[in-house]
Amino acid sequence: MRDLLPRLDAFVEALSKHPELNNTRYILAHKDLHFGNVMYDELSGCITGILDWEFSSIVPAPRWNPVRAFLWNGQYAPEATEEKNRVNELFRERCIARGLASLIEETNFSSTIQQVMQDTVNYLRAIVEVSPRHQKAEVVPSWRASLEEGLTAFKV
């Protein structure tokens, strides 16, 4: 990764040349909101608490769910991913039906370059968090390739 340091420095510099990256609202986000962090009372049918706020912060709206854990049941299986996607679509439909389409729309990226920037940062974060722990070594090369694609998109 050290060989990428000059490109990463250039990437940071290149960001200021793209003011459209700032076309977003800022919101308070939990950033680790999944079913394991939601306290639910089965008798009343009410959510009684939200746990695990240590990662919360004010973020650009598209970053409210950085690990895509919202509505995830905490299980690592293809069926769990399918269920998460199904429930996310149901959530989207219910927001729209209740006149809250803007809640969904404002969390989308406002441009392709904004999404590329965020994907690039996500791959970098994944590499620097996971590699030192010697985890997921089989996917780190593909993460690096995706990181480099993002840097190339910014002409660095």
Which has more pLDDT, 77 or 120? 120
Q: How many CA atoms lie within 13 A of 20 on its CB side?
A: 9
Give the start-to-end residue ranges of the domains of the chain: 1-23+111-156, 25-109
Lowest mean pLDDT among 2-11, 36-45, 59-68, 116-125: 59-68
> ∠ CA(89), CA(91), CA(24), 5° rounding?
90
- State residue 44's pLDDT score: 97
Which has more pLDDT, 98 or 55? 98
Q: What is the mean pLDDT of residues 2-12?
A: 96
DSSP string for residues in 91-109: HHHHHHHTT-HHHHHTTS-
Looking at the chain, how many residues does it have?
A: 156
Q: Is the pLDDT of residue 121 over 90?
A: yes
Alpha-carbon span 52 to 30, nearest angstrom: 8
- State residue 63's pLDDT score: 85
Q: Is the pLDDT of residue 133 over 90?
A: no
Phi, psi of 131 (to 5 degrees): -55, -45
- State both tokens at 153: 């998109």
> C-alpha distances in angstroms, 79 versus 32, 74, 84?
20, 12, 9
SS3 56: coil
For residue range 20-57, list pLDDT tens digits in order. 999 999 999 998 888 889 999 999 999 999 999 998 99
Q: What is the mean pLDDT of residues 145-156?
A: 97
- State residue 114's pLDDT score: 95
Taking alpha carbons only, the member of 82, 81, 101 closest to residue 91 is: 101
pLDDT averaged over every residue in the chain: 91
CB atoms within 10 A of CB 147: 24
